[in-house]
A and B are shown apart, each in its own frame.
Chain A
């Protein structure tokens, strides 16, 4: 979980994305309980209705389900659904900006591919 939220982006989206990340990373597993609306509100000092909006969208997308009187839990298929969704947006979110920056710097397609394939080594100063 992040320490604080970004004031210039919708808060409910940030709550939603944080939960998604935690589920994808395996920090919160299937059948485990996620923090409640009030816990989010108290932690980030945000309006509880805003936190609820993020959580409710995840319920609609079948990432979370409600156990009455107990709280919100992660569904069995949550991780799979999320990974699929993130893969779909991967091109838009990461590949397009990468290509546009490469274009700006006159890095050709071949050179860019080469970089992607290259073994990762730590950059030394």
Chain B
């Protein structure tokens, strides 16, 4: 499904959570939605899933507004970092309710995941540990088979092997049936290989929207003598520079071949590092 975001703005009193944001997500794909705390990610996901209204601008999913739109809400599954389920329900009933709501619900997958994460179907939600509640969220998100599935930091309290299992099953599911998966997380290094496109939000604005492989190619750290580096970066978009003993390293967008021709050392910048530099940039 195509998601078109136009001039989207969300204001909470004096606070601008989203500031005139525009972009388009074209189709079934795995998107990484990154940014620091308070950057506007959760607000965006809440509007996208039709749970809250924007203050201005629009989100259209296949041309329709998701707010209070039954046909669309059953195509969207948002799993948040907690409080996804009513405390008094048993796991079995949670799954039953979601199976009625999502037309493409996969009970077999849900059963498999419940087993994988050693969840007892009779347990009530309020008795679950943080990690177990996250595992239930992941189960619902994956089994919903919703054409737009959104995971907002879905694995608080989940240990590394369980997260790894989640990535594996997510990828298997995505391969067997393409759908739009929007993934918001702070554990970027663990998942960045899954992303085909990356969006970075900073203070309510999109500071970057690019295919991850293009980022890996164009975002680079160039090092060399101060003069050489300064000459090279003069006409480029510079993200950050550091200096030591007459040497300079600059993080820029550009072509690695060109930097090599200037006699500079060139290194790629992993997405996690890029996000850190982009979002600590003053006034970005």
Residues of A at under 8 Å CB distance from B?
5-13, 38, 41-42, 44-50, 53, 100
Contact = CB atoms under 8 A, between A and B. Distances in A.
A8 B270 contact: yes
A45 B166 CA distance: 11
Nearest to A8: B268
> Chain A's interface: helix, strand, loop or mixed, by majority?
helix
A45 B263 contact: no
A44 B214 CA distance: 19
B182 interface: no
B194 interface: yes
Contacts of A100: 263
Contact of B213 (A11, A42, A44): A11
Contacts of A44: 193
Interface of B: 29-30, 167-168, 171-172, 174-175, 189, 192-196, 212-214, 216-217, 263, 267-271
Nearest 5 Cβ contacts at the A-B interface? A8-B268, A7-B270, A10-B213, A46-B193, A10-B216
11 contacts: A6-B268, A7-B189, A7-B270, A8-B216, A10-B216, A11-B216, A38-B175, A45-B167, A45-B193, A47-B171, A48-B174
Nearest to B28: A49
A46 B213 CA distance: 11
A50 B271 CA distance: 15
A45 B175 CA distance: 12
